[in-house]
């Protein structure tokens, strides 16, 4: 932190932890926490100190130490954080400990990508069932077969299989996703890929080529969305059971009609409140009822997924 950093504006406190190679020997790992503050026309990295571990108490103590050394206790009005249990537990986790130490209520600004990760995980498990291991068998099947898939024959969603409300929403979502593509502001390739795939599945045009399937283990949060849509685009060239087809069709429907827009706008803090409301509205309008909203997180109930099953060709009935 710069010694001249003496802000006079309210600040949001950000932190994120990561296991990194130790600076002492380069072989062992140590938990480091990046800590910064942001406010109107200001942003400052306070430091990336070592934490005893990644648990809530150690993280809170590490964050508070830098805040106090920087004499910023009076400026902090909110916290931005990943929605992990170490941060968001309601008794002894980092957020609660920081609030108590600063002796004032703070605005909780949970990372919307982590919130949406929980939503997609629940939707995927509701549609496909829980996985018995870190990898997903259907995804591995697509990866193995990809070299012989004819990419010139994708199968988009059939509009005449949709209700009038669903068709109106498809056209609305298609226009929105195309505008996101045109803006060209995509911090990562997989963010852009999910938009391209969603546009293709919603009938808005096919990319000149598709990326080969990448990592597919359960820890890759974008894998479920990307793989589900890619599998549905080429489902007629893959071997799937009827149960697998029904499940992956529901996941792809949810991803393209609701999820992709929210995911790509989750990084814009000023959109957060409207995006949360739009997400809940779209789920209730396009999917079955069943969304529980809690402090700092959203959880998708199993009934959130579309009710209708696809026919043997993969189209919704």
**CA 308 to chain CA centroid, nearest Å:** 25
Residue 90's pLDDT is 74
pLDDT tens, position by position, 54-93: 888 999 999 999 999 999 999 999 998 887 888 887 777 8
- The class that CATH gives domain 11-110 is alpha beta
Q: What is the DSSP string of 219-284?
A: T-HHHHHHHHHHHHHTGGGS---HHHHHHHHHHHHHIIIIIHHHHHHTT-GGGHHHHHHHHHHHHH
pLDDT tens, position by position, 110-166: 888 888 888 888 888 888 887 766 668 888 889 899 999 999 999 999 888 888 888
Q: Where are the domains of the chain?
A: 11-110, 113-304
Q: What average pLDDT does range 265-294 have in this prediction?
A: 72
Rounded to two decimals, the pTM is 0.74
């Amino acid at each position: 932190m710069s010694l001249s950093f003496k802000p006079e504006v309210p600040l949001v406190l950000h932190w994120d932890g990561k296991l990194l190679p130790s600076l002492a020997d380069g072989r062992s790992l140590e938990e480091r926490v990046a800590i910064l503050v942001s406010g109107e026309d200001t942003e400052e990295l306070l430091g990336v100190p070592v934490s005893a571990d990644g648990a809530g108490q150690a993280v809170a103590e590490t964050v508070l130490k830098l805040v106090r050394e920087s004499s910023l206790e009076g400026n902090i009005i909110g916290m931005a954080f990943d929605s992990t249990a170490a941060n968001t537990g309601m008794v002894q986790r980092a957020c609660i400990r920081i609030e108590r130490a600063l002796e004032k209520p703070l605005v909780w600004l949970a990372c919307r990508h982590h919130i949406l990760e929980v939503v997609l995980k629940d939707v995927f498990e509701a549609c496909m069932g829980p996985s018995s291991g870190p990898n997903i068998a259907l995804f591995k099947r697509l990866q193995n077969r990809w070299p012989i898939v004819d990419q010139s024959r994708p199968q988009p969603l059939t509009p005449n299989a949709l209700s009038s409300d669903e068709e109106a929403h498809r056209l609305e979502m298609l226009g929105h996703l195309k505008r996101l593509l045109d803006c060209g502001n995509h911090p990562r390739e997989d963010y852009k890929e999910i938009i391209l795939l969603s546009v293709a599945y919603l009938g808005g045009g096919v990319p000149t080529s598709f990326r080969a399937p990448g990592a597919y283990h359960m820890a890759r949060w974008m894998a479920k969305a990307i793989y589900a849509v890619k599998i549905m685009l080429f489902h007629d060239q893959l071997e799937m059971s009827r149960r697998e087809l029904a499940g992956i069709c529901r996941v792809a429907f949810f991803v393209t009609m609701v999820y992709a827009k929210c995911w790509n706008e989750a990084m814009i803090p000023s959109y957060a409140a409207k995006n949360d409301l739009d997400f809940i509205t779209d789920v209730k309008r396009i999917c079955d009822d069943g969304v529980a909203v809690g402090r700092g997180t959203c959880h998708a109930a199993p009934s959130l997924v579309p009710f209708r099953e696809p026919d043997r060709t993969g189209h919704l009935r």
